Structure formats: C-alpha cells, structure tokens
Amino acid sequence: MERLLIQGGRLVDPGQGVDDRLDILIEDGRVERIGKGLKAGRGGETVEAEGLIVAPGLIDMHVHLREPGQEYKETIESGTRAAAAGGFTAVACMPNTQPPNDSRPVTEAILKEANRHGYARVYPIGAISKGQKGERLAEVGEMVRAGVVAISDDGWPVMSPELMRSALLYAQHFGVPVIQHAEDLGLGADGVMHEGEWSARLGLPGLPGAAEDLMVARDILLLEQTGGRYHVAHLSTARSLELVREGKSRDLGLTCEVTPHHLLLTDREVADSDFSTQTKMKPPLRSESDRLALIAGLQDGTVDAIASDHAPHHADEKDVEFSAAPFGIVGLETTLALGLDRLVRADLVSLYRLVELLSTGPARALGIEGGRLAPGDVADVTLFDTEPRRMVSPKRFQSRSRNTPFLGWRLRGRPVATFLAGRRVELS
C-alpha cells in the first residue's frame, strides 16, 4: 500500500466547497481522508505544504499538442511536460493534428504516447467530422470507446447547421459534449485581428465579433431542439457571453471557456507591440468592453472554465509578416501565474473561484473525473505558491514553442508541484 500525506497546506477545493487548512491523506492513488492533524503512518511519505495552496489538479480543457504530424511545434511529451511545469495534471487535446484525430487508431496512438511519458493525463477530443472537413460525422462511438471525452472540429467551426444538429444529437448516445470553435466563416473570413478601432487604424482586415455571436446564437437555437451538451471554446465577445448567460438561465446543457489572453489583453496590443505576431490568434484579442464583459462572466459564474488554447508554433512560422503569420499562442506555462497575479491579486476573482475555473469547472464541462479531492477521488493534486515573483521567460519553457505575448511580464505566484494519482510528477 502506498501512502502520501500532504500536510499543512491550505486546501482550496471548490469540488466539495472547502477552503481551509487541511491535510490530505492519499492511499494507492486515491484520497483516503482529509482533515486536521493527519498522520502518514508507518512507511508513508509526507509532503510539507506549509504556506502553499493545495488544489485538485488543474485541467486545461483546450490545448493543441501537435502530435501526430507537427512534432517540430510540440509533441505529446513536450506538451505534457509544459502542462506539468505549469501546474496542470490534465489536458484535453484538440483533434487538428495531421492526420486529425477522427478515428480510433489516432486516438489510441495519442493515448499510448501520453501514457508512455506520464507527465499529465491526456484526454483526447475527437473530430466531429471525418477529416474535420465539416461534411460527414466521424465515428464518434469508436473514438469514445478508445478514450475520447468530447468532440470538436476546433481550428475549424462546424459551418453546416445540419451537421451541427446531427453532432448534438449523435453525441448524446455516448454522453460527450460537442465543443464548437464558434466563428461564422461567412463574415470577415480574411480578417487577421479584431474588427474595430484598432483594425481601422492599422489597416488590417478585421474579424468581426458578430461572426462569433452568429455562430453561438445559431448553435444555442439548435441546442434548444436537440438537447445534449454544447460547449463554446475560447469565447471572446460580450455578446456571445450574454447569449450563453441567457441560455444557461433556461437550463440548457451549455458551458463555455475563456482564455487568459482574452481576459488580459485587447486589440490595442497589436498596435502597441508594433504588429507583433504574438498578438495574433483566433479568436482575436477583442475590445476593452469585451474584455471587461468576460471578467464579469468569471465573477457571476457564466464562465465555466479558463482554458489556454495552447497553440504552439515554431519561431520561424511566427517571424513573418503579421498577415501571413499563423494564429495562436502557447499558454500552459503562463495560465496559472497570470490567474494568480492578474485576476486574484488584482481582486477580480477569489482564489477559490480561480481554482474552480481551472479545475472543477473544466472537469464538469468535460464530464471527467478530477476537480475534487474528496475521499475516494483520484488524487491528482496541484501545489502552488502565491508569493514568489517571477518573470515570464520563454527560454525556461518546457514547451517546444515560445510564442507568447506575455514575455517579460512580472507575475507573482507559481506552481510548485503536481501529483498524478498520488505520485509526484518529476520533470528532470
């Protein structure tokens, strides 16, 4: 029997409504007990967590691990190392690999590779459509049996309402949510930044917020008829958030995530950074009023999760003309520190709420275990320290890619350790 005691820390666990100085005793990978003054017992190991926060393992429900196919950007190994370094015990990876994860063999290959390394749990998200082409449904049942926890054509929106309706209906057979990259490509598809004041100044083609709103609205209308579960990926506009808030008030199976960059940066950043391609992603950095609406969404509970949309790209790909650069930035190794410093320390949300957004919320949205450390639960744990100051330095990233707009930001708070089923994850 393996025993581990995490002792003296502040347990913040929104999964069971706990925020208190409590010890956790873990036996054979599961939580045995939580309480005060617990003992590891003979042969047990003790981790001293005095002064640290102990949280259910953080889950990033939206990452791109790039393997198979684009290993020069990221691999399952480097991506899960980045997850562990960033305080995450689990990631859900999007299917837009090469080939896309649209069938059981690809799902199995991803899981096999993930298990070989064991830095973080990997929950593959399967494609909605074969080849992510937006035409025919992929073999969702086969993929779910192989381990897929949700379906999405992320990178591409599901444009056909017919296909989206089928996906929402069909996914219910397997109990998985449908995740949509909500963007109507029929409006402003050649855009490279948010359409507004700053695109007007910079002469860059705009991506209108309405393209996202249209898709969220359409999908909610479909969801009303189909039932099932629908999740908006990287929601970025005030209007889309309002649509989700309204839909939730009617108890639709509706959830959404927002990214740290949409919470902390705006379209102005493109100008202030002199066209830095690290400010180019989809959805684009939006207006200040959108940003403030997203923060209000964190506060009132409309937002279910913070997800990074970790999108590694090679430096050579990003070091080109703004219009020619690929969309996306990495996030696994900055999300927690950004949340601790710019959301919690800035008094925008409580520490408790941040843990909810990074752990309990995504676990619920995906319907996976985790997000709680009650007796019997799997002992995936994240320890972090809210005090130390550190500068974001991509050179130290475990990820293969360095594409971040947060370079040089001074942030207070950092992950200390992660545990998977009661075992400390070692990166060295």
Partner 1 sequence: MTELSWTRKDLLGIADLSAAEIQLLLDTAESFREVSLRPIKKVPTLRGRTVVNLFFEPSTRTRSSFEIAEKRLSADSLNFSSATSGLVKGESLVDTALNLQAMSPDLIVIRHGHPGVPHMLAKRVAAGVINAGDGAHEHPTQALLDAFTIRQHKGGFEGLKVSIVGDIEHSRVVRSNVLLLHKLGAEVTVAGPRTMMPVGVEALGARAVYSLREALEGADVVMMLRVQLERQSQAAFPSAREYFELFGLTQARLKAAKRDVILMHPGPMNRGIEIASDVADGRYSVILEQVANGVAVRMAVLYLLSGVHREAE
Give the interface with partner 1 as residue ranges (CB under 8 A): 195-204, 206, 208, 274-275, 316, 319-324
Beta strand segments in 210-349, E: 230-232, 254-258, 305-306
Which is closer to partner 1, CB of 200 or CB of 374?
200
Helices and strands, counts by H and E, the chain: 14, 20
Which is closer to partner 1, CB of 275 or CB of 327?
275
Q: Give the shortest CB-262-to-partner 1 separation in angstroms.
A: 19
Residue 102 and residue 96: Cα distance in Å, rounded? 9
Residue 322 and residue 315: Cα distance in Å, rounded? 13
Which is closer to partner 1, CB of 10 or CB of 73?
73
The CA-based angle 236-264-237, given to 5 degrees, is 15
Which is closer to partner 1, CB of 274 or CB of 347?
274
Q: Give the shortest CB-373-to-partner 1 separation in angstroms.
A: 47
Q: Give the shortest CB-187-to-partner 1 separation in angstroms.
A: 10
Q: Give the shortest CB-204-to-partner 1 separation in angstroms.
A: 5
SS3 content of the chain, % helix, strand, coil (to 5): 35, 25, 45
- Name the active-site residue from 153, 267, 309, 380: 309
DSSP state of 143: H
Can 267 be counted among the known catalytic residues? Answer: no
Residue 145 and residue 88: Cα distance in Å, rounded? 25
Residue 53: partners with Cβ closer than 8 Å, 6 or more residues away? 9, 10, 12, 351, 355, 383, 384, 385, 386
Residue 17: partners with Cβ closer than 8 Å, 6 or more residues away? none
Q: Give the shortest CB-423-to-partner 1 separation in angstroms.
A: 45
Name the nearest CA neighbour of 258 among 290, 226, 287. 290
Active site residues: 309
